[in-house]
Amino acid sequence: MSTPHIEARKGDIAETILLPGDPLRAQFIAENFFEKPECFNRVRNMLGYTGEYKGKKVSVMGTGMGIPSHAIYTHELIHNYGVKRLIRVGSCGAYMSDLKLYDIVLVQGACTDSNFAKNFNLPGTFSALASWDLLFKAYSFCQQEGIDVTVGNVLSSDIFYNLDSSDWQRWAAMQVIAVEMEAYALYCNAAFAEAEALAILTVSDNLVTGEKTTAKEREVGFAKMMQIALSLI
């Protein structure tokens, strides 16, 4: 059995999956954090692996960038492969000056400028929320380990290169703390299928101060984010 975008067989993918945007990051996670990693997908180079972490079966797969790409993969993972727990590990741009580079954001809720939720034909606006259980576990782990985290609302935007350079300030005025491009779709797809989802983000740039990380520097924040994500398996 395969889907248009995933060539795995049923049973090849664990019920818990980590979801970075970058497929090479999925490969890195599998090779550095999992025991016995096996590749289950190479379609479109969107690498996916299943292995074990502390004796538990776990998978990791890239999703690409943006809501359409992310939603294709999470839909197929949930509906065709029975995935029940989806943990996005990504990066975000901070809308608050007190969020420093490499800080960690646990995404409690996501707003969007996308029309994605139209698909669910709701008679109003959907608030996309994290699984309380995963959020509570992640936050408790951070408290226990002394990892500083910020929990809050983010914007999942369809636009990376926004022509209106002050648009983001109106989201910030509503206490939206950061921008990324996928969490809203993840939370919608999970809610619709009664699956659990959480997005964990590392701050890679700050729109208030203009600070940016380099690709190399991002590995620092990535280690902390992985520690949190792995604690949920």
**Smallest distance from ligand HPA to CB 50, Å:** 27
Nearest distance, CB of residue 83 and ligand HPA, angstroms: 24
Print the binding letters for residues 131-160 with ligand HPA: x by CB under 6 A, - otherwise.
--------------------------x--x
The Cα–Cα gap between 128 and 109 comes to 5
- Encoded tokens for 62: 């890239």
Pair 66, 25: CB distance under 8 Å: no
Contact yes or no for 20/90 (Cβ under 8 A): yes
Residue type (1 letter), 117: A
- Is the CB of 69 or the CB of 91 nearer to ligand HPA? 91
| Binding to ligand HPA, residues 4-43 (CB under 6 A) | none
- Is the CB of residue 59 less than 8 Å from the CB of residue 21? no
- For ligand HPA, the binding residue among 13, 60, 107, 181 (CB under 6 A) is 181
Catalytic site includes residue 133: no
Closest contact distance (angstroms) between CB of 127 and ligand HPA is 20
Please report, as residue ranges, which positions from 39 to 98 form the binding site for ligand HPA (by CB under 6 A).
91-93
Query: In whole angstroms, how close is the CB of 92 to ligand HPA at the nearest point?
Result: 5
Task: Indicate which single residue of 205, 211, 218, 227 sits in contact with ligand HPA (rule: CB under 6 A).
Answer: 205
Specify the amino acid at residue 125. Answer: T
Angle between helices 218-231 and 132-145 (to 10 degrees): 120
182 binds ligand HPA (CB under 6 A): no
* Minimum distance from residue 98 beta carbon to ligand HPA (Å): 17
Residue window 111-130: x/- pattern of binding to ligand HPA, with contact defined by CB under 6 A: --------------------
3-state secondary structure of 199: strand
Q: Which residues, 6+ apart, have CB-to-CB distance to 219 below 8 Å?
A: none
> Where does residue 132 rank: exposed (0-12), middle (13-18), buried (19+ CB within 10 A)?
exposed
Give catalytic residues, as residue numbers. Answer: 205
The binding site for ligand HPA (CB under 6 A) comprises 91-93, 157, 160, 179-181, 204-205
